[in-house]
Chain A
Amino acid sequence: MNFYFFASPATFFRLAGAMAPMFFVLAAISGAVGLYLGLVVAPTDAQQGEVYRVIFIHVPAAWMSMFIYFVMACYGGMTLAFNTRLAAMMARALAPTGAMFTFVALWTGAFWGRPTWGAYWVWDARLTSELVLLFLYGGFIALANAFEDPRRGDRAAALLALIGVVNLPIIYFSVQWWNTLHQGSSVSFKGTSMHVTMLWGMLLMAFSFWMYAAGAALVRCRTLILDRERRTRWVRALS
């Protein structure tokens, strides 16, 4: 994707309209296969039994919550640096999906925590910083919509997103830096200690969530474009 892809809302509108269904289809297929692997094929865990299967939602959702925030912050950076409208709209489009995945990660984590740790919630470093991430998403959405001039909202929220990026390494590395209750990472670029079907199940679910997020963001962005650009000729021609 070259730079000028982001230049014209009209072009982007058409492109996004064509691409979004493809993303959703990919999401559905990989999600189905991933869930099959996770719920049916993967073996029962020696210590935790069947409960551990929530990992196939929990871990991919947590990965996505951080990844989406990072992408949102990048779009925020582009908004501030280049003052483009489209970058700001993409950031706004990503925020609700990112917030949803953060909530899912926290909720499935609580569901998993009860049988394994005996508590729905503990104030350890990783959980607390993930909760802060949820509030950062909420703050981003609230701030972006708090101004009369939407461009002001775009820029203030973009700055907030960039400031909050500091939270991502804290979430990611917290299990290494502190003695926390949350288990350390089992998956890294060097290899994994997990059973291969579990790994594949998780990766496929992560891919599925990623495709869903892309599709949802594109659809939401199209709506934002229609709203922001409603006075332009091409939008009026659509109705």
Chain B
Amino acid sequence: MNVVIESPGPAAPEGSFGAGFAWAFTRDLLLARRHPGETVLVVAFFALVASLFPLGVGAEPQLLARIGPGIIWVCALLAAFLSLPPLFATDYADGMLEQMALSPHPMPGWIAGKIAAHWMSSGLPLTVLSPLLGLQFGLDAATLGTLALALALGTPILSLLGAACSALTLGARGGGTLLALLALPLFVPVLIFGAGAAEAAAGGLSAAPHLSLLGAGLILAAMAVPFAIAAAVRIALD
């Protein structure tokens, strides 16, 4: 068995969760700003697909109002999925990931920072845009509000779970299809509760149970997933 013993020697720079988070967050946001095309692409895809449905399905208001929340959620899922692959792959390919793994900052810190930056450039724009798209489906104000809140809670969960799958498939053959096989089934519960919340609101019922489940899921995922990803990254670098 390999043992790496670090005896106390000359002082090493102090690492911290917060510093690691800030480092990864600012860097990834800077990179996203350098390539605004990628963010715009995700949002444009979301908007386009969601807008195609009323055209394709026909303008019957009751039908549109029924299927609207579900369609918007599925589009959010697919758009979140499309923006996943470069999350770790770029850093893995240029050697930055191993430098990050060797950093004194604890791994879950910068991992959480990367995921937060990913959400800011995929989930957040989708959440902000969702009321506009909901109007196309003729959803009322209460439903739009609930939908946006559900997306605000659910899209970070998608980013977290998607990042875990992305880390597990680093260096694997089968690329995007393998990632889809792993990520989409994990997305399904989020879709069910997220769309369910909006549908409950549309039907006049309380969406609180759905939203609180999403919130609990978000807290659990935010606490546990970065550690799982740290293990996956160590496996990928080994």
Contact = CB atoms under 8 A, between A and B. Distances in A.
B129 interface: no
Contact of B174 (A128, A136, A142): A142
A123 B235 CA distance: 35
A71 interface: no
Interface in A44-102: 80, 83
A75 to B, nearest CB: 16
Contacts of A160: 168, 182
A228 interface: no
A28 to B, nearest CB: 34
B228 A159 contact: yes
A126 interface: no
B189 A159 contact: no
Contacts of B168: 143, 156, 159-160
A150 interface: no
A135 B172 CA distance: 18
A142 B181 contact: yes
B164 interface: yes
Given A132-B185, A160-B168, A163-B164, A80 B231 contact: yes
Contacts of A138: 181
A128 B188 contact: yes
A147 B171 contact: yes
Contacts of B1: 83
B238 A152 contact: yes
A147 B172 CA distance: 5
A222 interface: no
A7 interface: no
B228 A139 contact: no
A159 B186 contact: no
Contacts of B164: 163
Contacts, number: 62
A142 B182 CA distance: 9
Interface in A135-156: 135-136, 138-139, 142-143, 146-148, 152, 155-156
A126 to B, nearest CB: 12
A163 to B, nearest CB: 5
Interface string A152-172: 100110011011000000100
Given A159-B228, A159-B235, A139 B185 contact: yes
Contacts of B172: 143, 146-147, 156
Interface string B182-198: 10111011001000000
A152 B181 contact: no
Contacts of B192: 123, 128
B181 A132 contact: no
A123 B192 CA distance: 8
B178 interface: yes
A136 B185 contact: yes
Nearest to A160: B168
Contact of A146 (B169, B188, B189, B236): B169
A138 B180 CA distance: 12
B232 interface: yes
B232 A146 contact: no
A235 to B, nearest CB: 25
A17 B182 CA distance: 34
B35 interface: no
A99 B231 CA distance: 25
Contact of B169 (A131, A143, A155, A162): A143
The 7 closest A-B pairs by CB, nearest first: A135-B185, A146-B172, A139-B182, A155-B235, A132-B185, A146-B174, A146-B173
Interface of B: 1, 164, 168-169, 171-174, 178, 181-182, 184-186, 188-189, 192, 228, 231-232, 235-236, 238
29 contacts: A80-B231, A123-B192, A128-B192, A129-B189, A131-B188, A132-B189, A135-B181, A135-B184, A136-B185, A139-B182, A142-B174, A142-B181, A143-B169, A143-B172, A146-B173, A146-B174, A147-B171, A147-B172, A148-B173, A155-B235, A155-B238, A156-B168, A156-B172, A156-B235, A156-B236, A159-B168, A159-B231, A163-B164, A163-B228
Given A143-B172, A155-B235, A159-B232, 4 more contacts: A142-B178, A152-B235, A159-B235, A170-B189
